[in-house]
Structure 1
């Protein structure tokens, strides 16, 4: 420090010698000089990282997206409308939290590494299962998605049947009541018909009244038959139109690969190698200067 003080008193350059200058006094030109001197480190690590990235891209097969569509269980609600047994959001939560993990564990012994499954609600009555994997594992994805759909169908079937029974019960009761009324009217019609035929010709007025009553009963019977047919049709439509859980599309493969392509992998590798090279160049320079100061 006395030498520096002497230089200052003499009017000379008061700056510290190069080896005593602090890091914030290093200029951008000196940083550039470090990069120029250590160019071989930067280029070498960049080429190495690019080669590793290219090798990884070459040995890694392209991944495709496989989608399956599940149509959820629904009950015919009349007028061409349907009511889902369970909301799509509720099914999505059940699949994600329970059925999908259980299905992947169940197939882990036979499939080894089981593809992941993303569950997405598509509207009010559909669920989409999505998996990303190489095309060679298309059959494995199909087996996994089918197993998930089967488990969901088994879970929803009791609920579906319960909803059908709740809607069918009053209709069946109405059908029984209508049949009972029709039988009673049929007995009345037979009695009136026998009475009208057995009367003498001089009892024309009484016979006319009975025939009028018979016509009214026939109209009532026709109305009851229409209501009976309508109730029976509703029962049939309810049973035939209601649907259980089903797969409408199984592991449909995307046309193009998904994820990072080989060009992107190579570019990212080169960028990473360049950044690592710059860091290494400064680190080597730091170590060399630290050794010189000892």
Structure 2
């Protein structure tokens, strides 16, 4: 009797791993999984409970303005000076005096379409006094530079106004000088308007503590620790099985 032809058989490989093999391996090494999972999770919970609480401390300053809403110095320029010069100087001075780095970072930014410079630090409440001192030093440095530049501009405008006064007095004694006098008076009024429009540098807020804690919440840290514990536990279980197989093979040699 002729047997019907059979289709191509599925090749078998000795190194194939099925889901059943994976489940069997995991159950075999479940104690390793439990140990690693519990250790990582407990470490995460301990960190969440013992990690110092941090808050955001914000300082805000308004740069000096000239006429027509123009800034005496662009906020982006001040931020560049803070980041590249004044903050590093402050950190170096603290390191030299206390033989350690500042326990927090200082960043500066400019809220869009404003003449404000925002200084921010994330620190624990125990460092609040140091944060305020550091922010105040930076604000005073910016303010001193702004006020000095504003004084120079004010002096220049006053000198030009006085010069216009002299020019007008001189023209009033001449003949056919009406147009020249009118132009001089117009320029003088414009200069006086520019002088009155000058707005000084102002520190609006110094190291104000945010009501909400900065950084990830404790609950989020615990959740991430549990997820990490699950992944580390599974990896450790299969790694333990691999090491066990290697030992068995090497003992047979």
Q: TM-score, normalised by structure 2?
A: 0.78
Asked whether 1:275 is paired with 2:231, we answer yes
C-alpha contact 2:160 2:191 (8 A) present in aligned 1: no
> Deviation per CA, 1:112-144, whole angstroms, max 9, x where unpaired?
542211110123421100111112222211111
C-alpha contact 1:157 1:244 (8 A) present in aligned 2: yes
> Deviation per CA, 1:36-85, whole angstroms, max 9, x where unpaired?
1211211221111111111112221211111111111222x2xxx33211
Inter-CA distance 110–284: structure 2 relative to 1 (3 Å threshold): closer
Q: Unaligned stretches of 5+ in structure 1?
A: 1-13, 186-219
Q: Counterparts of 1:111 and 1:15 in 2: how far apart (Å)?
A: 68
Partner of residue 47 from structure 2, selected from 52, 56, 63: 56
* Number of aligned residues: 230
Q: What is the deviation of 1:34?
A: 1.0
Output aligned runs, 1:203-282, within 5 Å. 231=188, 235=192, 238=195, 242-282=198-238
Partner of residue 136 from structure 1, selected from 110, 126, 132: 126
Asked whether 1:119 is paired with 2:108, we answer yes
Q: Counterparts of 2:69 and 2:156 in 1: how far apart (Å)?
A: 15
Q: Counterparts of 1:175 and 1:135 in 2: how far apart (Å)?
A: 58
Q: Counterparts of 2:138 and 2:208 in 1: how far apart (Å)?
A: 16
Q: Counterparts of 2:200 and 2:94 in 1: how far apart (Å)?
A: 24
Inter-CA distance 237–87: structure 2 relative to 1 (3 Å threshold): closer
C-alpha contact 1:107 1:144 (8 A) present in aligned 2: no
Q: Counterparts of 1:154 and 1:106 in 2: how far apart (Å)?
A: 19
Asked whether 1:103 is paired with 2:90, we answer yes
Asked whether 1:33 is paired with 2:20, we answer no
Q: Unaligned stretches of 5+ in structure 2?
A: 1-10
Q: Counterparts of 1:150 and 1:143 in 2: how far apart (Å)?
A: 10
3-state DSSP of counterpart to 2:70: strand
Partner of residue 145 from structure 1, selected from 131, 135, 148: 135
C-alpha contact 2:91 2:101 (8 A) present in aligned 1: no
Q: CA RMSD in A?
A: 3.0
244-253 or 279-288, which deviates more: 244-253
Q: TM-score, normalised by structure 1?
A: 0.68
Q: Counterparts of 1:52 and 1:165 in 2: how far apart (Å)?
A: 64
Partner of 1:286: 242
